[in-house]
Each structure stands twice: as C-alpha cells, then as structure tokens.
Amino acid sequence: MKAFVVTEYKAPLELAEVAEPEVGARDVLVQVRAAGLNQLDEKIRAGEFKLFLPYRLPQVLGNDVAGTVLRVGPDVRRFKPGDEVYGRPDKDRIGTFAERIAVAEDDLALKPASIGFEAAGSLPLVALTAWQALVERGGLRAGQKVLIHAGAGGVGSIAIQLAKHLGATVATTVSAANADFVRGLGADVVIDYRSQDFEQLLSGYDLVLDSLGGKNLERSLRVLRKGGKAIGIAGPPDPGFARELGANPVLRLAFAGLSSGVRRQARRLGVHYEFLFMRASGDQLREITALVDSGAIRPVVGKTVPFGETAEALSALERGGIRGKAVVTAA
C-alpha cells in the first residue's frame, strides 16, 4: 500500500510502497479516509523527539485517523466491519499517512455522527490533548480562570470550547486577525500577542495551557495564583513524564535537567509546572464524541489537501496561518 514515510530525520517525507498492516487479536484495520496534520508529525520528522520517541526508520508518519473499519481481530468486541471510527494510535504505532492502518481497539471510538470524516480526522490528537490538560491534569471547573495560548491553533481552538463547556473564564493569545474567531469559540479575554503583554494584563489564573514553551512558558507562570498550574505541551519534559515513559536513569536525569529551570521558577512563585505528552484513549474520545454531537465542541478545519500533497502540507505547517487543523483526505 502507499504511505508517506520518514527515511531519515530532517529529510522530506517520501511516498513509498509499504507492507500491509499486521492485524493483531485486539486490533482494528481501518481504511483511512482522513488524517490530521500536527506539529507533532513535523517534530518527529525533524528528529526533535527522537530522545524519547526512538522510531526505527523508515517510519510511516501520521497521528490522527478517521476512517472505515475493514476487519477486526478475533478478540475485538466494540467494532465491526463498516463502522465509521476515529482515533489517535498509540505513540508506538503511529502511521496514519497511509491507505490503511491497524489500531488497537482501546485507542478508537465511533466517529461523531454529526460530522464528516475530514472534521473527525482533525480531532483526536488535539481534542485528547485539550481533555488531558484541562480535565485530567488541570481539574478545571466552573468559576475558574484559564489562559490558553495560541487559541486559533489546533489545540487552542478545541481547548477554548472545552473550557467554556466546563464553565471556566477563558483568556487566550492570538493575532489581531483571529480575535473575532476565538471570541466566536467562547474566549472571554482576547490578547493580541503582537501588541499586548499578557503578563501585564492577567493575574490570579488557576491554569495555563502553554503550547509555545521557552520564555512564553516562564512568563505564564507569573499570571497564576498561588497553587495554580501551568501545563506545557511544547516542553520541556519533566521527571514525571520520564516516569510515565518508564525511562532509564540516564534519560530521567536528562529530563530533570531540561526542566530544572522552569520547575525552580515555579517553586519560587508557589505554582506548579507539568509537561504533557498526550496519550491515546478511546474512552476519552467517546466523551469527546458526546460533546461534538451535542454541539458543545465543533471541529475547526482550516485546510484540506489530497493524500498526494501530504509532504508539502506538513512542511507548510511551520509557516502557520491556518485556523484549527489541516487535514489530509483519502488516497
């Protein structure tokens, strides 16, 4: 079958013929109808995550899928051929930039009935990231205040909607051109990052979702109330993430060193920092499906491209300018 693969880090994706997926006892073989493009895909291609995601090259890329079930393993109980599903494969089994992929049953959910494949293909990674940051890690609840950086992007556009559904007051940073767009998603406080300083305008926040890292993350710590939490999805990785990975002592020490500066700053301010690398979860996707079908969350697809243009579309992510997600459609 055809797939886009990484043959060496930093090299462009290549279209190649690869072996058909092996379908295990608890796996579901999915005909890919749509696959979201993510910054994670680009970081993997560039080798930025090879320290803790050591893929054996060549590797088929792609972390989001929506499609139709072709067949299931003998122990699968939740799905059958013909079902329309979506999901984020486990980090060790990525490869949705392909005609077909085998995904563990536990990592899939039925596609929301109210949306098509392209919209569904845009959701899994960013919606799971938002859920795990705001609900699972952040414990966000009604009456609290959350700052969501890059609110017009893939994670931000979903996180704003989820936070509003939870009853929080939402601030976000965007360009002026996207101000009305994020207000339409539910943002209460909109900050133009080019002309305004969020650190001077915000204080007493319960939670920050940071997708930018670096100085932006450090400044975000200072808008939190005592005991508040900043969750970073761009890094740096922390010792908690090393434990989740089951990393060896050398890698644990490396992660501790990478995040020591921001963790030290957080302690001085009486706040907390956690790194989040989202995980696959069919159970959480079923919760998200209900929110989509109820109208509480709507996917934001800013661009669609045919399968054959996957490599060019991935490289274009660095230029930005897309509201929500870019999505590759079926081969």
Provide the CATH number for the domain around residue 142: 3.40.50.720
Q: Specify the CATH number for the domain of residue 84.
A: 3.90.180.10
Is residue 156 domain-shared with residue 71, that is, in the same domain? Answer: no
Last residue of a domain, one of 260, 275, 290: 275
The answer as to whether 289 is a domain residue is no
Is residue 143 domain-shared with residue 257, that is, in the same domain? Answer: yes
The reported pLDDT for the residue numbered 290 is 98
pLDDT tens string 20-63 = 999 999 999 999 999 999 999 999 999 988 888 889 999 999 99
Which residue in 95, 3, 7, 9 sits closest to 44, CA to CA?
A: 9
What is the span of the domain harbouring residue 324?
A: 2-123+299-329
pTM of the model: 0.96
Is residue 263 domain-shared with residue 147, that is, in the same domain? Answer: yes
Is residue 260 domain-shared with residue 316, that is, in the same domain? Answer: no
Is residue 181 domain-shared with residue 83, that is, in the same domain? Answer: no
The reported pLDDT for the residue numbered 51 is 81
Is residue 319 domain-shared with residue 268, that is, in the same domain? Answer: no
pLDDT tens string 244-294 = 888 788 888 888 898 999 999 999 999 999 999 999 999 999 999 999 999
What is the average pLDDT score of the chain? 96
- What's the domain count of the chain? 2
The answer as to whether 281 is a domain residue is no
Using CA of residue 58, residue 213, residue 66, residue 180, what is the dihedral sign? negative
The answer as to whether 315 is a domain residue is yes
263 within 8 A of 273, measured Cβ to Cβ: yes
The reported pLDDT for the residue numbered 52 is 81
* Alpha-carbon gap, residue 131 to 133, rounded angstroms: 5
* Alpha-carbon gap, residue 84 to 141, rounded angstroms: 32
The reported pLDDT for the residue numbered 254 is 86
Is residue 135 domain-shared with residue 263, that is, in the same domain? Answer: yes
Tell me whether residue 15 is exposed, middle or buried, using C-beta atoms within 10 angstroms of its C-beta: 0 to 12, 13 to 18, 19 or more. middle
Is residue 304 domain-shared with residue 252, that is, in the same domain? Answer: no
The reported pLDDT for the residue numbered 331 is 60
The answer as to whether 285 is a domain residue is no
Is residue 320 domain-shared with residue 232, that is, in the same domain? Answer: no
For the chain, list residues with pLDDT below 70.
331
- Tokens found for residue 124: 């899994």
- Element housing 31 (H / E): strand 27-37
